[in-house]
Structure 1
Amino acid sequence: MKALVLEGKDQQFIYKEVDKPILSEGEVLVRIKAASFNRRDYWIKKGLYAGLKFPIILGSDGSGIVADVFDQENKHLLEQEVIINPSLHWGSNEGFQSKEFNILGLPENGTFAEFVKVPVENIHQKPAHLSFVEAAAIPLAGLTSYRALFSKAKLKKGENVLIVGAGAGTSTFAILWAVAAGANVYVTSGNEEKIEAAKKLGAIDGVIYKNEDWDQQLLQKVNGFDVIIDSALGEGFAKHLNYVNPGARIVFFGGTAGNLPALNGRIIFWKQVQILGTTMVSPNDFNNLLKFIEEHQIHPIVDSVYHLEDGNDAMELMENSDQFGKIVLTVS
């Protein structure tokens, strides 16, 4: 089969012939129709991710058709159109992942290939209203933001939500989910164009975080926030405490802008603010997300689509952070 192979840190992908995966008990082989990029792929390529190994086929997100099964009792799955849950071996606790947990695309070969093998419990029927490209755009970023909003923050209809960094995959999905749930959504972004794009998705307004007084600008637009979703951290994280409502929930994942800064603990305990970390999702979260997407007939935002062999061009777009929505690869 053909695949995009990363053979070392900071190298270009090589599009080449590799061995097709060999199935073991409990696994299925999916013929990939589309796969999407995540910031995780970028950090692995840069060599700034834990557990690096080379060569590796990256890609956590994918949709396709079941091409083979190991166990005969799963024969009914053949030719089904599926979406892949990249959260492998979560474990039995809804609150946190097991020691065996990992994400498809490292250490196991991922979806940037014509075929990928996954545990049978990690495939789900593709929502009928989504194309393969749209379905492939959802898993990693969509799941992370869904868990942050609903499993962690317990978002309710009518609450005020701030989503940091409009334009990134997780942030774009968070806007879609929060708007569909009936929340009042505001965003921050690095430029006005992405704020306008967020408003077209249903966000009420936003501010440019490059402005020194962006936190005060937010307070001129809304009295305060009940839920804040942050995927960057860094020094700006401390400003969230300037506009939290009593009982607010701040959920974060990732740390592209740095670590947690010093925080005013008095505000945290007096307003009874919760600061919650999250990563990936449980199987239950994935099932709930698919139901949510089908109930609201949501279509993810796809910024651009490339062919698998043009994966280096797609990665360049991600490196420049010029996209709004997901970058997707299609497989012939």
Structure 2
Amino acid sequence: MKAFVVHNGNYQMKEVEEPEIKADEVKVQLKTAGLNHRDLMIKHRVGSNEEAYILGSDGAGVIVEAGANVSRFDIGDEVIINPGLNWYDKSEAPPADFEIVGVPFHGTFAERIVISEDFIERKPKHLSWEEAGVFALSGLTGYRALITQGQLKKTDTLFIPGAGGGVNSFIILLAKAVGAKVITTSREREKLKDAEKLGYDKGILTNDNWQEKLANETIDLVIESIGGKTFNRSLEVLRKGGRIVTYGSSTNDQLTFDLRKFFYGQYKLIGSTMGSREELHELLAFTEDQSIKPIIDRQFAFSDIDKAFDLLGAQNQLGKIVINM
């Protein structure tokens, strides 16, 4: 079967062996898959490894084969992939054996994937195949950061730098469904205008003076994913006693901040990553009840996946990038 892999330090389309299933596994014929920032970085993690790893963490499709012990699903069921492996319950941190689909576990950029029935869920009825294929990683990451770790309330004001990414755009949709006020940023005025479809309440430019622009706002929660370039600026606009949740770092991983100012301000700094199966179930119920759908920027055929990677690398998208299998 065809698969998009990282092999000897390079990304390439390759013919790979058809996967076989174990007793508790299913084989899913993928209809759609979704790109994530993680996919851009994998080759730096695996280096020039001679083994070919199939990329991709998000996907949706139809079960075409089921192992003898599979009990939750039947052949023909429409499902989405849960990219967070071995994390069942909503715990303070992932278990030691937590993995993400797509290296080292073979991922969704292939015609078919074999996976335990524990880590698939029924395709939400209100989502198209394109929406379902990009839903889980961004949705689950955003839900844990915003709801489990951030403890967002409808009376809160949320500040989230960077409106365009898949996770952040989903967080804005979730926050507005909760009823909170949302303030966001973008590097470009045109993109900020484009992002109005997310329903945010106030948008400012990345290069604006944030303290000046937000002087009349009381920000209860900041969700940070940019890292070194914006972390201190985000902290400066957070109210004393407020919460800052970080789930990623698209710029510098290492930074310095004023520790004395931090503890005098009684700020709360909370880390977050992906989420558990329990949280995915909560997310699915909430999004179906609220009819929340991920925003899709562009779609590409599987044969044009290189172009999709170029678009993601340029960071000019608003929402998710779909691969039609």
* Range of TM-score over shorter length: over 0.9
Change (3 A) 1:224 1:243: farther
Equivalent-residue separation in structure 2 for 1:52 and 1:257 (angstroms): 26
Q: Which of residues 268, 276, 281 is equivalent to 1:282?
A: 276
Structure 1 partner of 2:31: 33
Equivalent-residue separation in structure 1 for 2:85 and 2:125 (angstroms): 24
Report matched runs for 1:216-227 at 5 Å: 216-219=212-215, 222-227=216-221
Secondary structure at 1:268 match in 2? helix
1:207–1:217: 8 Å Cα contact kept in structure 2? yes
Residue 215 (str. 1) matches residue 214 (str. 2) = no
Secondary structure at 1:166 match in 2? coil
Equivalent-residue separation in structure 2 for 1:20 and 1:13 (angstroms): 17
What residue ranges of structure 1 are gaps of 5+ in the alignment? none
Structure 1 partner of 2:176: 179
Normalised TM-score (structure 2):
0.94
Structure 1 partner of 2:7: 7
Change (3 A) 1:286 1:55: same
Q: Deviations over 1:184-223 (max 9, x none)?
A: 0010111112211222211112222234x2332232xx42
Residue 146 (str. 1) matches residue 143 (str. 2) = yes
Displacement of 1:49 after TM fit?
6.5
1:91–1:101: 8 Å Cα contact kept in structure 2? no
2:210–2:233: 8 Å Cα contact kept in structure 1? no
Structure 2 partner of 1:316: 310
Q: Which of residues 41, 49, 62 is equivalent to 1:43?
A: 41
Secondary structure at 1:6 match in 2? strand
2:157–2:181: 8 Å Cα contact kept in structure 1? yes
Equivalent-residue separation in structure 2 for 1:76 and 1:91 (angstroms): 18
Equivalent-residue separation in structure 2 for 1:55 and 1:205 (angstroms): 45
Equivalent-residue separation in structure 2 for 1:141 and 1:50 (angstroms): 25
Letter in 1 for 2:94: Q
Q: How many residues align?
A: 325
1:199–1:205: 8 Å Cα contact kept in structure 2? no
Aligned CA-pair RMSD = 2.0
Letter in 2 for 1:215: Q
Q: Deviations over 1:54-98 (max 9, x none)?
A: 411100000111111112453852111111110001255611111
Letter in 2 for 1:30: V
Q: Deviations over 1:278-312 (max 9, x none)?
A: 11101111101101110100111000111111111
Equivalent-residue separation in structure 1 for 2:300 and 2:74 (angstroms): 28
Secondary structure at 1:249 match in 2? strand
1:232–1:253: 8 Å Cα contact kept in structure 2? no
Letter in 1 for 2:211: D
Secondary structure at 1:13 match in 2? strand
Change (3 A) 1:72 1:261: closer
Report matched runs for 1:257-268 at 5 Å: 257-268=251-262
Report matched runs for 1:1-332 at 5 Å: 1-9=1-9, 11-14=10-13, 16-45=14-43, 47-48=44-45, 54-74=51-71, 76-90=73-87, 94-211=91-208, 213-219=209-215, 222-331=216-325
Displacement of 1:259 after TM fit?
2.8
Secondary structure at 1:161 match in 2? strand
Query: In terms of mean alpha carbon deviation, does 233-242 or 272-281 score higher?
Result: 233-242
Query: In terms of mean alpha carbon deviation, does 268-277 or 320-329 score higher?
Result: 268-277
Matched-pair identity in %? 37
Equivalent-residue separation in structure 2 for 1:293 and 1:21 (angstroms): 32
Secondary structure at 2:230 match in 1? helix
Equivalent-residue separation in structure 1 for 2:49 and 2:225 (angstroms): 22
Change (3 A) 1:49 1:277: farther
Equivalent-residue separation in structure 2 for 1:297 and 1:92 (angstroms): 25
Displacement of 1:268 after TM fit?
3.0
2:72–2:117: 8 Å Cα contact kept in structure 1? no
Equivalent-residue separation in structure 1 for 2:47 and 2:140 (angstroms): 21
Change (3 A) 1:270 1:207: same
Secondary structure at 1:185 match in 2? strand
